[in-house]
């Protein structure tokens, strides 16, 4: 079983739609969680950290469910510019500040 699992997609949605991605992680000792965005052949960029109480940044909302070991990202009012791959990232807090990445979920927002 992969340490971090995501549905690879692609998710094709019309502009203005609301779309949600889920991600599951296997290490119950994981301590911090992030969503990164990666455009084609570019570097990953931090989209947002994910906090236990859930957090929102504009059109983006992230949720964490420790009991079920999953993380979600909700994007409201999708824009064409949201088209990218969204990477679920977990840091289990052990040595090395190692980030464990999911393989990503591809989002395509269409007119």
Partner 1 sequence: EAQVTQNPRYLITVTGKKLTVTCSQNMNHEYMSWYRQDPGLGLRQIYYSMNVEVTDKGDVPEGYKVSRKEKRNFPLILESPSPNQTSLYFCASSPRQGKNQPQHFGDGTRLSIL
- Residues lying near partner 1 in the complex (CB under 8 A) are found at 4, 31-32, 34, 41-46, 49, 87, 91, 93, 95-99, 101-104
Structure tokens at 78: 């999708």
Closest separation between CB of residue 18 and partner 1, Å?
25
Nearer to partner 1, 3 or 17 (CB): 3
Strands 99-101 and 45-50: unpaired
Nearer to partner 1, 2 or 79 (CB): 2
Considering all CA atoms of the chain, what is the largest pairwise distance in Å, rounded to the nearest integer?
Answer: 45
Closest separation between CB of residue 13 and partner 1, Å?
23
Of the candidates 68, 74, 82, the residue with the CA atom closest to the CA atom of residue 26: 68
């Amino acid at each position: 079983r992969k340490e971090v699992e995501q549905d690879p997609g692609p998710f094709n949605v019309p502009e203005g739609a609301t779309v949600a991605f889920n991600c599951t992680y296997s290490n119950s000792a994981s301590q911090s969680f992030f969503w990164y965005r990666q455009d084609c052949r570019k570097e990953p960029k931090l989209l947002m950290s994910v906090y236990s109480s859930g957090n929102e940044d504009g059109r983006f909302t992230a949720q964490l469910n420790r009991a079920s070991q999953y993380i979600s990202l909700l994007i409201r009012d999708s824009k064409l510019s949201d088209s990218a791959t969204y990477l679920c990232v977990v840091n289990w807090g052990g040595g090395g500040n190692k980030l464990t990445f999911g393989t990503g979920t591809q989002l395509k927002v269409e007119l």
